[in-house]
């Protein structure tokens, strides 16, 4: 097994990998004690090369790897690669390109919703993967032979899955579907966490007009602190503590001490004073600057039968074209289409989804198509 622990060997490996049209990639990381994921191991493979890179090896410089990640001539193949891409984005401040995600490709090709790597390999190659080392602490050294073999298997089989998915996409003429689905994975916005928007992730139920102002300021403070100190948000301050503070803002540090969800260790640092300043900013925020909670507009009551008909159409389309239902349209999409028709701003009425489902959904609502029962099967017919 080729294990790379120095920069010179890494440089040679990456130059060799750059000669091939693709490289399968997987990462092992931990993030329980940090805000940013700590890269502990990286596995790569193509038709001729299999290697493990140890990013924790003393003195190793990962710059050759970063250059490979930006090489436009080499396709980077991952499975469920959002967290892998996030690691590279934080390390390089760039998205690896070009990218191919076999999990997303699997959804497009009819493998179901977010198929796991183990199930995908079993379906394609009829191989059972040993997941016994799944919960390894990848930061500990030395790693055992069993752990390294487990890690390597995440890319050795991936290269075959990649080729299989490519063939399916070509046969089904769905390559452009995959390109649309990859947009989220390849967008920098997916991995950015602006502190000023941190409050939007926190659920709060209150009628107090200034509570959201306080929540915005203290959530922004927590996010900035977590990023700066590379510490998980929950270790800085729990969500429950944020909502309690927003609804009942304490007037002093002593008031903070009376909040049950704030751990005593919080007061060992300089954070209480900084938090109190954030609370004060929230309380002094002018009404026009209050963040607006997302209020869902009530949908018309008459749409329920329409939604049920759309649900039948969705089921028929998914069975006919072998597509995962959640990939084509979700319940919210159906509600919006039933309520607003062509004006609904939903993915189901855009791109390949519109061709496959959206156009017929609108036709069904306008009476241009309907259902008939033939030989105990529901069929779609023009009216």
Least confident of 208-212, 254-258, 371-375: 208-212
Q: What is the CATH number of domain 195-289?
A: 1.10.150.80
Q: What is the pLDDT of residue 366?
A: 94
- Give the separation between CA 347 and CA 215, rounded to whole angstroms: 31
**Whether residue 86 has pLDDT greater than 70:** yes
Burial class (CB in 10 A: 0-12, 13-18, 19+), 109: buried
Average pLDDT score, the chain: 93
Please report, to the nearest 10 degrees, the dihedral formed by the alpha carbons of residues 326, 331, 332, 333 taken in order. Answer: 60
Most trustworthy range by pLDDT among 83-87, 111-115, 318-322: 83-87
Q: What is the pLDDT of residue 67?
A: 97
Q: What is the pLDDT of residue 289?
A: 87
Whether 2-190 shares its CATH topology with 195-289 is answered: no
Q: What is the pLDDT of residue 296?
A: 59
**Whether residue 27 has pLDDT greater than 80:** yes
Q: What is the pLDDT of residue 323?
A: 86
**Whether residue 29 has pLDDT greater than 90:** yes
Global pTM value: 0.87
Q: What is the pLDDT of residue 110?
A: 87
pLDDT in tens, 263-312: 999 998 889 999 999 999 999 999 888 888 765 567 788 899 999 999 99
Q: What is the CATH number of domain 301-382?
A: 1.10.150.80
Domain at 2-190, CATH homologous superfamily: Ribonuclease H-like superfamily/Ribonuclease H (3.30.420.10)
Percentage with pLDDT > 70 across the chain = 98
Q: What is the pLDDT of residue 132?
A: 67
Q: What is the pLDDT of residue 287?
A: 87
- Give the separation between CA 57 and CA 65, rounded to whole angstroms: 14
Paired strand residues for 101: 78
Q: What is the pLDDT of residue 130?
A: 75
pLDDT in tens, 109-155: 988 888 899 999 999 999 888 776 777 899 999 999 999 999 999 99
**Mean of pLDDT values over 217-237:** 96
- Give the separation between CA 278 and CA 274, rounded to whole angstroms: 6
| Spans of all domains in the chain | 2-190, 195-289, 301-382
pLDDT in tens, 325-379: 888 999 999 999 999 999 999 999 999 999 999 999 999 999 999 999 988 889 9
**Mean of pLDDT values over 181-201:** 93
């Amino acid at each position: 097994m080729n294990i790379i622990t120095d920069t010179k060997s890494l440089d040679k490996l990456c130059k060799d990998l750059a000669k091939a049209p693709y490289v399968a990639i997987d990462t092992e990381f931990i993030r329980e004690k940090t805000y940013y994921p700590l890269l502990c191991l990286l596995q790569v493979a193509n038709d001729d090369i299999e290697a493990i890179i140890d990013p924790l090896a003393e003195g190793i410089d990962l710059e050759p790897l970063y250059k490979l990640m930006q090489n436009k001539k080499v396709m980077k193949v991952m499975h469920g690669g959002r967290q892998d891409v996030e690691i590279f984005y934080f390390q390089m401040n760039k998205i690896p390109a070009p990218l191919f995600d076999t999990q997303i490709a699997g959804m497009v090709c009819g493998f179901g919703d977010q198929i796991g790597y183990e199930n995908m390999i079993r379906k394609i190659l009829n191989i059972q993967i040993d997941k016994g080392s799944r919960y390894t602490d990848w930061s500990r050294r030395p790693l055992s032979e069993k752990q390294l073999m487990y890690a390597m298997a995440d890319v050795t089989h991936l290269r075959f899955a990649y080729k299989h998915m490519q063939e399916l996409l070509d046969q089904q003429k769905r390559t452009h579907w995959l390109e649309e689905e990859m947009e989220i994975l390849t967008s920098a916005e997916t991995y950015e966490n602006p502190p000023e928007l941190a409050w939007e992730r926190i659920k709060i139920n209150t009628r107090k007009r200034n509570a959201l102002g306080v929540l915005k300021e203290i959530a922004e403070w927590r996010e900035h602190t977590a990023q700066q100190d590379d510490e998980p948000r929950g270790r800085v301050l729990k969500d429950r503590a944020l909502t309690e503070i927003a609804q009942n803002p304490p007037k002093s540090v002593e008031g903070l001490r009376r909040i049950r969800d704030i751990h005593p260790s919080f007061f060992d640092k300089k954070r209480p004073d900084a938090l109190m300043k954030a609370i004060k900013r929230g309380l002094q925020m002018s009404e026009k600057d209050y963040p607006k909670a997302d209020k869902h507009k009530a949908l018309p009551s008459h749409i329920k039968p329409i939604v049920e008909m759309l649900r039948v159409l969705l089921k028929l389309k998914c069975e006919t074209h072998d597509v995962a239902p959640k990939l084509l349209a979700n319940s919210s999409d159906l509600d919006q289409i039933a309520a607003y028709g062509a004006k609904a701003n939903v993915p189901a009425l855009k791109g390949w989804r519109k061709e496959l489902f959206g156009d017929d959904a609108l036709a069904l609502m306008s009476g241009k198509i309907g259902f008939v029962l033939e030989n105990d099967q529901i069929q779609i017919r023009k009216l």
